Amino acid sequence: MTPHRNRRLTLAASVTGAVLVALDGTVLTVAQPALRHDLHASVTAVQWAGTGYLVTVAALLVFAGRLGDRYGHRRVFALGVTGFAASSAGIAFAPGIGWVIALRVIQGVAGALLQPATLGMLRASWPADRLSGAIAVRTAAIGLAGAAGPLVGGALTAHFGWRSVFLLGVLPAAAALLAVLAVPSAAMPVLAAPSAAGRSGGPARSGGLDLPGAALLALALACLVHTLVGLPETGWSAPTVLGLAAAGLLAAALARHERRTTRPLLPPALVRSPTVAAPLGVLLAASAALQGVLFPASYYLQDVLGLDPLQSGLRAAPLAVAMILAAAGSARLAKRHGERSVVLSGMVLLTTGALLTARLGPDAGTVAIATCFLLLGAGFGAVMATATAAVVRGANAAEAGVAGGLQQTVMNIGPAVGIALATTTAGRADPGAALTPAALAMAAVAAAGALLAARLPGRVGAPARESVTRP
């Protein structure tokens, strides 16, 4: 099998895996009311079906990436996509809400294994000068899945019931598994990362698994995500403050542990590298700003303008279209003008879109609304594709899994942060009526991200030389 075909199969598997996860999140939202009615479940129980998945994924992404670095992204991807499809099929036949919640947590474990591996496989098999193009295709596919998910989920739920939604990804998952298994393991070699001793001049040893660090990070992220997800409903109550305090204490304990261990889960050289840290900060700001605007905007369209869900979806359609087109064209633009210029331009578009959204009132026309969503989508699409490529390529290939896990963690935390900030800004007002202050706050977040974008490299350099050990 030729290297070209191996790369194509790897890209197909990576894109399919990423689309599976993106579709799962959007179609479930549409199916939740029918699921609740059919299983006679409470609103809180149905919410836990979503929260349990989100908390589990966020807690395990970085450790799952480290597993890919240690044992091979191809193996971890195969395990993740199999578990994701199996748990999804199990949910389709679940007899009660308790089973749904338990299987969603298991699906979260599989999703955590799956997501960093989609990036790690691309880093291991694609040349550095072509990696941006592969990641751009992946990002565009995620945008398409996000746009199609509510439509597909609604159609399936209406005609075949909510259980059919969870069978949607079984065949694509099987196709992704066959595609990745068709790629020889030699095409995606396991790269040996030196230990701390090796970097300091001592004898180099293969990197081990930092289980205490993984546990501390998982607990910190679980506390943070659970608290942020619940903040729009509970507000700044005592449990919210305690949850954030617990996350902070666990993060401090993690930092102390990582400084002392010889094989840290988060390699210091990786997290301190401006080629990784800066784009991660940009992705956090961009995802927070986008979701922080979209959350009140969805209420604005329906509660203030009086549109039904279909009309609201059509008004917001330019966002998905612009995101897909911007992501698809970002690699070519980055090659011509440099990553810094593309990401900085994207953050400017995102900031401008948020500022224009803040000016929308009860009499806003279709063109004004479409323009706002167009700018938001174009900015976010360009930023997500280009900054993700910068993170994955900026890391040593032996640490691509950890870098991919950090990227996915940021993309999970960012929306929760944005929605929490938007609801905090709104105070006691309805989200739709508080669109202006929320959008202005998100414009400030996006502007802060633009400052971080200025630290990105201008043009892609030559790939670094790496040591390879065959499994």
Indicate the domain borders of the chain: 1-184, 210-262, 266-460
Radius of gyration, alpha carbons of the chain: 21
For 1-184, CATH gives 1.20.1250.20
What crossing angle do the helices spanning 435-453 and 339-358 adopt, rounded to 10°? 170
Model confidence pTM above 0.75: yes
Do 149 and 26 meet the contact criterion of CB atoms below 8 Å apart? yes
Q: Which residues, 6+ apart, have CB-to-CB distance to 283 below 8 Å?
A: 383, 384, 387, 388, 391, 407, 410, 411, 414
* pLDDT tens for each residue of 148-188: 887 788 788 888 888 988 998 888 899 999 988 888 775 56
pLDDT of residue 186: 58
CA distances from 392 to 237, 270, 277 (A): 38, 11, 11
Q: Which residues, 6+ apart, have CB-to-CB distance to 191 below 8 Å?
A: 69, 124, 396, 397, 398, 400, 466, 467, 468, 469
Residues counted in the chain: 471
Burial class of residue 366 (count of CB atoms within 10 Å of its CB; 0-12, 13-18, 19+): exposed
Do 257 and 213 meet the contact criterion of CB atoms below 8 Å apart? yes
Q: Taking the CA atoms of 289, 43, 433 and 239 in sequence, report the sign of the dihedral they define.
A: negative
| CA–CA gap between residue 294 and residue 303 (Å, rounded) | 14
What is the b/e burial string over 139-167, where b = at least 16 CB atoms within 10 angstroms of the residue's CB?
Answer: bbbbbbbbbbbbebbbebbeeeebbbbbb
pLDDT of residue 424: 83
pLDDT of residue 183: 82
CA distances from 73 to 15, 86, 88, 108 (A): 14, 20, 22, 18
What crossing angle do the helices spanning 400-426 and 43-71 adopt, rounded to 10°? 150
Q: Which tokens sit at 299?
A: 């209420």
Q: Which tokens sit at 269?
A: 């050289």
Report residue 429 CA to chain centroid gap: 29
| CA–CA gap between residue 470 and residue 153 (Å, rounded) | 43
Q: For 359-434, where are the alpha helices, taking DSSP H only?
A: 366-394, 400-426
- Identify the H or E element spanning 469: strand 468-469
In sequence order, the β-bridge partners of residue 191 are 468
Q: Which residue is associated with the tokens 């746009």?
A: 147
In sequence order, the β-bridge partners of residue 206 are 194
Phi, psi of 175, rounded to the nearest 5 degrees: -65, -40
Q: Which fold has domain 266-460?
A: Growth Hormone; Chain: A; (1.20.1250)
Asked whether the domain spanning 266-460 has the same topology as the one spanning 1-184, the reply is yes
In sequence order, the β-bridge partners of residue 194 are 206
pLDDT of residue 460: 53
pLDDT of residue 197: 44
pLDDT of residue 156: 84
Do 385 and 327 meet the contact criterion of CB atoms below 8 Å apart? yes
pLDDT of residue 302: 82
Low-confidence ranges of the chain (pLDDT < 50): 194-206, 461-471
